[in-house]
Amino acid sequence: MIEKDAPEVTAAPEDIRYMKEAIRQAKKAAALGDVPIGCVIVYQGKIIGRGYNRRMADKTVLAHAEIIAIRKACRKMGDWRLEDCTMYVTLEPCPMCAGAIVQARIPNVVIGCMNPKAGCAGSVLDMLHEEGFNHQVETKINVCREECSGMLSQFFKDLRKKRLAEKEQAKQQTAEENSVEKTSSFTKGEKVKAQP
């Protein structure tokens, strides 16, 4: 298993450049209210597939950044095999995405930060390096880690704050509705007593 708190690596300039594009994609997800995960796929120095998490926007569990980028790259290449490509993704792939990476025969994956709850490049499972599969993937981890993990941390901090505010607002609204009902009942009772 991969050490989850491994330090940020000194990455090649092209790895940083493409990871920064994956980060730009992730910010699009955040703008939609989705978990900020972004992905790009590169072939011969050109981006052939981009994707960002759209689960909430598209209302489907299949709308992960990696899956979207793989679809676009396959369309661009005219093949389901992406054998000479490199994927850059801001968060360690989940089981579904790791499976798609193996199936697409992507040889290299560069990961921004690890995912200790669902990662399948060594954190929870190690699907990308599984010797029993017919394809294994070379990985580089923690490229632009601080920026990738910071973006996720901020998103979830803001989400918790928003949910807490919504909960407080719902509580206040319920209290106000209960207060109106009590006042309304009391007023009706007074009117009944006032009649001769």
Q: Which amino acid is at 160?
A: R
Q: Is 57 helix (H, G, I), strand (E, B) or coil?
A: helix
> What average pLDDT does the segment 130-144 reach?
95
pTM: 0.82
Spelled out in words, what is the top-level CATH class assigned to the domain 13-155? alpha beta
Mark whether 66 is an active-site residue. yes
Greater pLDDT, 191 or 141: 141
pLDDT for 194 equals 52
Average pLDDT over the chain reads 89
Greater pLDDT, 184 or 152: 152
Question: Which listed residue (8, 66, 146, 177) is catalytic?
Answer: 66
- Contacts by 132-135 with C-beta closer than 8 Å and gap 24+? 133/102, 135/102, 135/105
